[in-house]
A and B are shown apart, each in its own frame.
Chain A
Amino acid sequence: MSQRSVSATQQQANTRLVKRLLLATAIMFGFGFALVPLYDVFCDITGLNGRVYQKDTQQTQAAQNLVAPLTEAEQDNIDVTRSIKLEMMTISQAGGAILFEPIDKTLRIHPGQMAEARFRITNVSKDAKYVQAIPSISPGQAGLYLHKTACFCFEQQHIEANQQNEFVMQFYLDTDLPEDILQMTLAYTLY
């Protein structure tokens, strides 16, 4: 092209570097997607974002098999020196078709004590619906210490047209709950 034509070695070096940079680009594109599972792992460890985790579901099976012994064991383990205030919040994302409200709006419980929160879901539409509730807890770290033994949010719920159902969630708070958490909010969003 010009007097100082690009030499063959130069050309080779360029191609090699371009290949490496393209590889780096591809890796970073993959990394963008890898952030999704990484984020889940990270949240699991740190309790970021107030999710309630899959392991609760597994514990549930164990808990249901051993209801009596577990409660007994728990009895000894109740931390009566503390009482935590829980507030229930509900959001329905199903438009106007489904009404969703907590029956127990606030609860006071000791860590280690079994408790129940009741919710009411009303289908005001003319069709039967399947709904799924997604929980979220704040402050986020508290999510690590809330253990559910039964929850309507574990699976989809079926509601007939114009029907009202009550649902319960059984849970207890871990006695390891950090001292600085005095109050928690449980929010359920219904889809």
Chain B
Amino acid sequence: MNSVTSTQDTIQHGSDQGHDSHHGPAKGIKRWLYTTNHKDIGSLYLWFAFIMFLVGGAMAMVIRAELFQPGLQIVEPHFFNQMTTVHGLIMVFGAVMPAFTGLANWMIPMMIGAPDMALPRMNNLSFWILPFAFLILLASLFVEGGGPAFGWTFYAPLSTTYSGDSTALFVFSVHIMGISSIMGAINVIVTIWNMRAPGMTWFKLPLFVWTWLITAFLLIAVMPVLAGAVTMVLTDKYFGTSFFDAAGGGDPVMFQHIFWFFGHPEVYIMILPAFGIISTIVPAFSRKKLFGYTSMVYATVSIALLSFLVWAHHMFTTGMPVYAELFFMYCTMLISVPTGVKVFNWVATMWRGAISYEVPMLFSLAFIVLFTFGGFSGLMLAITPVDFQYHDTYFVVAHFHYVLVTGAIFSLIAAAYYWLPKWTGVMYDVGLAKLHFWCSLISVNVLFFPMHFVGLAGMPRRIPDYSIQFADWNQIISLGGFAFGLSQLIFLALVIKACRKQGEPVADKVWDGAEGLEWTVASPAPYHTFTTPPKIQD
């Protein structure tokens, strides 16, 4: 039955592919260096993000190896600090954000029926400056005095008065990352705004497109503020200004306000596209329309707006007036309302659906459950009086790894399993994929769940040593960490196999319940799609 539909599609779109022959991909390395094709650039972003994920993961392995036992065994404390810092920077700016940008490049033009991104040359530039940013960041680990060791949040005065010579490199690389993501965001907005196929009205947009549009606006709003913060750190350290130096009339606490004005919206930059992915996959494998499409859109907008009103929940212990603490506490709790709407909608979509458990669906289900765990621990952290106990402990580490690993990363893996057959034209090794799922699911919980316990018991974060009573749980956490790290190598092997086209060829519409324009083009997706705009049915 599947093949019947696909033949029809091929006939329908045969005319699309006929005139592609005059402009196929160039050969060799030049194809990738000079490409302005959204699919090529998408692939570059995704591979870059995957490599960075493995590099940042390797640093996490160093951290977990050191924490396997109390006392100092493997690395110096100063190097440990560099590892926690660079692990965080790489995972946020090198893995999660570029991976979402890669998906946006691949899927948004295909989902809205556009031939390419609106600004293809800028697209090429925004990708190709990224590797340099991370080469600079990684190179900073090898300069004398070591790389950045002040945490990914680079609080002043740690990053100004007490930082090493590599700080200039750190600032420079963050600037490049920022420019890259701003260019990417501009491209996404212009594409969605101006390039939709005729008939693709705002409320017909797939949710992945909606969530990315809102994410792009968040990026434009806060990445420049981050750029400002690193610039102030730079001038404080090297040019004698005193933005954050009390001796010169500045205020180190102000750094935290500026940083978290960027930092809290940043966490939604990393999760809103994930909501879009889950809202795409869950209906496909429940064989039902998404429950509450419009409420999903409005929930996303309200999360984005609220994200500007909650930054100081990261700073409850800095001694704010009580009414300010209450304000930020209630605003933070308010965010759980639109987020709850989303979780409710996903569950309602599955309700009485004809659910099947293909690998993308397995990862999406794990996302819904485990992201909600992360949301609950976030709600606990939002309560000001108890935050005084949780602050800077492993409880916080557990919280944000639940929302970022089992949230953002799981959604990215789900997206990869969902669209990989469309990209490569072959079905990946499903056995291997299921192995990857179960290994990841079990190990990620062994890794992060006990962190709640040691955190509540008072184990501080970012310290290479700990009291003896935390030893058992830390051993278990480290074992879970190693297992989770190794499990991702299964994924690497699977993706390489699929890219070499080892597997059964797939139909155009890979999943029978899937909806969207991307399934109307051939598999693998031809180099150019929708050079003539598709017809949008109601």
Contact = CB atoms under 8 A, between A and B. Distances in A.
Contact of B194 (A10, A22, A48): A10
Given A3-B19, A33-B228, 19 more contacts: A1-B23, A2-B528, A2-B531, A3-B531, A4-B532, A10-B194, A17-B189, A17-B190, A18-B119, A21-B189, A21-B220, A24-B220, A25-B186, A25-B220, A29-B224, A32-B228, A136-B246, A139-B321, A140-B321
B115 A4 contact: yes
Interface of A: 1-4, 10, 13-14, 17-18, 21-22, 24-26, 28-29, 31-33, 35-36, 39, 43, 46-51, 93, 132, 134, 136, 138-141, 189, 191
B186 A2 contact: no
Contacts of A33: 228, 232
B328 to A, nearest CB: 12
B220 to A, nearest CB: 5
Contacts of B19: 2-3
Interface string B1-45: 000000000000000000100010000000000000000000000
Contacts of B261: 35
A93 B261 CA distance: 29
A89 B6 CA distance: 77
Interface stretch (B60-68, B164-172, B251-259, B287-295): B251-259
A30 to B, nearest CB: 8
Q: Report whether over half of chain A's contact residues are helix, strand or loop; otherwise say mixed.
A: helix
A32 B190 contact: no
Given A2-B531, A3-B19, A46-B321, A21 B194 contact: no
B interface: dominant SS: helix
A22 B223 CA distance: 12
B194 A32 contact: no
The 7 closest A-B CB pairs, nearest first, are A32-B228, A191-B247, A29-B224, A28-B224, A32-B225, A2-B531, A21-B186
B319 interface: yes
Interface string B176-201: 00000010011001100111000000
B320 interface: yes
Interface in B232-251: 232, 243, 246-247, 251
11 contacts: A2-B115, A3-B19, A17-B193, A21-B186, A21-B189, A25-B182, A25-B223, A29-B224, A32-B226, A48-B324, A134-B247
Contacts of A28: 220-225
A3 B193 CA distance: 21
B306 interface: no
Interface string B525-538: 00010111100000
A107 B228 CA distance: 43
A134 B528 CA distance: 64
B190 A14 contact: yes
Contacts of B189: 17, 21
Interface in B496-538: 528, 530-533
A4 B533 contact: yes
B227 interface: yes
Contact of A39 (B119, B182, B257, B530): B257
B194 A139 contact: no
A49 B193 CA distance: 43
Nearest to A28: B224
Contacts of B301: none
A25 B224 contact: yes
A32 B224 contact: yes
Nearest to B258: A35
A36 B321 CA distance: 19
A51 B253 CA distance: 11
Nearest to B320: A48
A134 B225 contact: no
Contacts of A3: 19, 531-532
B446 interface: no
Nearest to A29: B224
B321 A189 contact: no
